[in-house]
């Protein structure tokens, strides 16, 4: 049995390792146009920051390690065309091309950075995106010689790089076309993130929201000025584009595989595409949102691993389902933890709910303890049914832990009333006597009289 | 309307504050034989340790603050007898006694330390238990003049005091009659706690398990030697008895109120006792265990607060239920976090389940990050149905967060299969790509073939 896997960062690498264990006699081959296989892309901001010195710490399994497990990996090898009828894939390097046979094909082509339409965006060598190992190496090298960086986009990666750059002594301007940072958060919580970050003493960064970059200028392939729509001119040493990613779904689309409305590959809960014997997993495919029941595209490394595992099990003939995602995310920027799960108020309304919410600000442990931190927690529920819909947390290191408890509640379709007396652990170094989550539930209960 | 509350530490104080807000025109009175009201008893080990300098940080609301809210508090006042027929309580101080009328009575008499049957246990002034504010003050004063302490009992409070004493430079012997530390944990996890604590370099403490104290000797009311059954003689400056607590249920029993088989007051989910207009809450009453459905007695401050609130709401005529507890606990000893929820293997068998379990040891975040910690996690499920039953976590600071996610799953009666693809947040500073909880679920799935 020939198992061909296209792509090998997270989902593809996981699928390969799993299926080889399940079917030791099969031929498992990974083709990837990347220079590396099986690595932690989520760790690149921390490599750039200098949290560890060798980028090879990010490598999970090397080509040689795959080889020892009986898996062949072809780096720098593009998959140009899938021929479903013939069960073949056309792959090529810069020197060669060949057709490879598959019995089961797993597409794990991932996503790529979106390049915004800015004059000059392709003209300079010091404009970067962050996706692959070599991107991280180049950005770190340039950062070490720079005094100023411009980050375009204030999503999670933009703010992680803000941390990396400021910790390395750079002055940073962040330009965001929306009216707030991290638009996955509700406006009130985005505002809280901004206030918290801007309260840092002697900060060396500035946020420019509702601001579009219209032109980048420079000389000799070195950009030095970023011009915005409102007329600002920012002189800079390097520019990072962090304005989102797009799924690498063109190969699948070209093969006649159904693409979802999000633009990513449509799969069922077995990770099967619309064409027999072809599976997809990871950042290239969309998921079911467990709360809304809608198709969403939330490309994340943790999900990619689970989907890779699920695709492998099903491709190997073992039935297992991946129910979907909650959109759970955590990210850190300069001692601010930002975490969320489920629907925000906007997506809750779009899904047909009547969201009601509360925001609690509290210490993250009993206030008399040393090193007490803070947490601002928002919980959202449906006013009609009391169903929990989502939550967002901002604060010191423990803020994310509440989001994981809430994610579990969302997975179980719990109501506010189901949750409100949850027996969460308590001890002064770990939580307040009544955890912020339970405070939020009690307040929500008074707002949802009927089902509470 | 006269609301009388007996006891005012956590449940009583919470009930008083809540009912006064619900019924502002009622007379709310707290009678307590304690010298303080409304305080964080769980914080006493950290006061002793010196995490904060003024014991008054532990006080949540003072008598004066209650007075401002319209609540009368009588300290040093015993409730000697409840007369349910007459709706009266006999209360007394050292100088006086009176009968007080109630329309609703809330019993929140708490628990008291169990005093083991040891020769000499009542004969010396440097033998302590830790329950009340003045206990904490006395222990801290004595600790500051001591070089050696003996802790009898290795439960959570015993180990919290071990931390306090060793951080203050004392040499400590811990004597435990069971064959392991913290018997709420399964033996394998208890062993792990011991190994972790004993691996501390230059430690100044020793554990003696399977060892009974049979006699304490000394002179002039100062104990100086602890003698054990096996013949050990430990010379010491102070002795702390941490061998558990017993519910203060005698007053209720004397009034004809039904006592549960645990020895604590039996209440229904509205916190009503067997006698009309009398409620009980906090450490003096037992609870329903949400996983096993059995009556249990798990006296904890967080539960006391929830029960106090529930009793107040129902006494005020607003219907609300407290479904019960999961036995969730977290405690810290010298950078070791110990947390648990639900049933352990022993209690799972007692409840009629067929427990199957797995233990995972992993870093608590991606291993290339600085300050990476560790977590050892045990998850227990029912082999027949796949129902999640409980879990235990030991490790660095983030270990407890997994237990809260698991507690939420227990509250929702989730199975291993329901949980195994839970969308928990991931980012390198916060978790491994596949969280230890999900690793555990995947392994359990392979052990529970039918329902996974």
Segment A9-31, tens digit of pLDDT: 999 999 999 999 999 999 999 99
Find which of A53, A375, A404 to mutate to test the B interface (most B CBs within 10 Å of its CB). Answer: A404
Digit-coded pLDDT (tens) for A263-291: 999 999 999 999 999 999 999 999 999 99
| Closest-CA residue to A115 (of A124, A102, A105, A103) | A124
Digit-coded pLDDT (tens) for A195-214: 999 999 999 999 999 999 99
Q: Is B364 on the interface with A (CB under 8 A)?
A: no
Digit-coded pLDDT (tens) for A129-146: 999 999 999 999 999 999
Averaged pLDDT of chain B: 97
Contacts with A, B 312-331, CB within 8 Å: 322-323, 325-331
Q: How high is the pLDDT of residue B248? A: 98
What percent of chain A stands above pLDDT 90?
Answer: 98
Tell me which chain B residues have a C-beta less than 8 angstroms from the C-beta of A425.
302, 328-330, 339, 341, 400, 403-404, 407
Structurally, at CATH architecture level, domain B127-243 sits in 3-Layer(bba) Sandwich (3.50)
Strands A336-342, A355-363: pairing is unpaired
Interchain contact, A400 vs B425, CB within 8 Å = yes
Digit-coded pLDDT (tens) for B307-337: 999 999 999 999 999 999 999 999 999 999 9
Interchain contact, B328 vs A423, CB within 8 Å = yes
Structurally, at CATH architecture level, domain B339-445 sits in 2-Layer Sandwich (3.30)
Q: How high is the pLDDT of residue B452? A: 67
Region A243-265 average pLDDT? 98
Closest chain A C-alpha to B416 CA, distance in angstroms = 12
Q: How high is the pLDDT of residue B277? A: 98
Interchain contact, B426 vs A300, CB within 8 Å = yes
Q: What's the pTM?
A: 0.96
Phi, psi for residue A50 in degrees, rounded to 5 = 100, 20
CATH fold, domain B2-40+58-111+246-315, is FAD/NAD(P)-binding domain (3.50.50)
Digit-coded pLDDT (tens) for B181-211: 999 999 999 999 999 999 999 999 999 999 9
How many C-beta neighbours within 10 Å does residue A374 have?
15
CA A127/CA A240 separation, integer angstroms: 6
Tell whether the model's pLDDT for residue A399 goes beyond 90. Answer: no
Q: How high is the pLDDT of residue A451? A: 64
Asked whether the domain spanning A339-445 has the same topology as the one spanning A2-40+58-111+246-315, the reply is no
Q: Encode chain B (452 residues) as per-residue pLDDT tens digits.
A: 999 999 999 999 999 999 999 999 999 999 999 999 999 999 999 999 999 999 999 999 999 999 999 999 999 999 999 999 999 999 999 999 999 999 999 999 999 999 999 999 999 999 999 999 999 999 999 999 999 999 999 999 999 999 999 999 999 999 999 999 999 999 999 999 999 999 999 999 999 999 999 999 999 999 999 999 999 999 999 999 999 999 999 999 999 999 999 999 999 999 999 999 999 999 999 999 999 999 999 999 999 999 999 999 999 999 999 999 999 999 999 999 999 999 999 999 999 999 999 999 999 999 999 999 999 999 999 999 999 999 999 999 878 889 999 999 999 999 999 999 999 999 999 999 999 999 999 999 999 976 66
Tell whether the model's pLDDT for residue A247 goes beyond 90. Answer: yes
Q: Is A58 on the interface with B (CB under 8 A)?
A: yes
Kindly list the domain boundaries of chain A, sorted by start residue. 2-40+58-111+246-315, 127-243, 339-445
């Amino acid at each position: 049995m020939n198992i061909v896997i296209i792509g090998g960062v997270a989902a593809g690498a996981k699928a390969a390792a799993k299926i080889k264990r399940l079917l030791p006699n099969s031929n498992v081959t990974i083709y990837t146009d990347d220079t590396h296989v099986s690595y932690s892309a989520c760790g690149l901001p921390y490599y750039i920051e200098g949290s560890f010195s060798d980028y090879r710490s990010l490598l999970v399994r090397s080509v040689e390690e795959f080889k020892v497990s009986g898996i062949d990996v072809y780096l720098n090898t593009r998959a140009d065309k899938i021929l479903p009828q013939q069960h073949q894939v056309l792959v090529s390097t810069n020197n060669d091309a060949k057709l490879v046979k598959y019995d089961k094909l797993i597409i794990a082509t991932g996503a790529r950075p979106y390049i915004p339409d800015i004059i000059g965006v392709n003209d300079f060598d010091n404009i970067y995106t962050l996706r692959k190992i070599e991107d991280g190496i180049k950005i770190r090298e340039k950062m070490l010689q720079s005094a100023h960086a411009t980050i375009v986009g204030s999503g999670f990666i933009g703010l992680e790089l803000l941390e990396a750059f400021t910790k390395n002594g750079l002055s940073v301007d962040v330009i965001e076309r929306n009216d707030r940072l991290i638009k996955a958060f509700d406006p009130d919580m985005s505002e809280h993130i901004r206030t918290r970050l801007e309260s840092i003493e002697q900060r060396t960064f500035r946020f420019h929201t509702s601001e579009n970059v219209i032109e980048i200028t420079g000389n000799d392939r070195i950009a030095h000025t970023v011009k915005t729509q409102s007329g600002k001119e920012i002189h800079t040493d390097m520019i990072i584009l962090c304005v989102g990613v797009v799924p690498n779904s063109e190969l699948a689309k070209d093969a006649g595989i159904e693409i979802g409305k999000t633009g990513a590959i449509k799969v069922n809960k077995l990770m099967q595409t619309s064409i027999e014997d072809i599976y997809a997993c990871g950042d290239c495919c969309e998921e079911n949102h467990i709360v809304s029941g809608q198709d969403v595209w939330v490309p994340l490394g943790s999900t990619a691993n689970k989907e890779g595992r699920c695709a492998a099990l099903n491709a190997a003939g073992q039935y297992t389902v991946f129910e979907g995602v909650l959109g759970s995310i955590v990210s850190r920027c300069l001692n601010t933890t930002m975490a969320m799960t489920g629907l925000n108020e906007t997506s809750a309304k779009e899904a047909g709910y009547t969201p009601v919410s509360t925001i609690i600000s509290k210490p993250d442990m009993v206030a008399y303890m040393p090193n007490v931190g803070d947490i601002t927690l928002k919980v959202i529920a449906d006013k009609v049914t009391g169903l929990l819909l989502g939550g967002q947390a901002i604060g010191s290191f423990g803020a994310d832990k509440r989001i994981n408890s809430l994610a579990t509640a969302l997975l179980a379709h719990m109501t506010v009333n189901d949750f409100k007396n949850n027996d969460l652990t308590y001890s002064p170094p770990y939580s307040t006597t009544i955890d912020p989550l339970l405070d939020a539930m009690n307040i929500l209960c008074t707002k949802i009289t009927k089902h509470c």
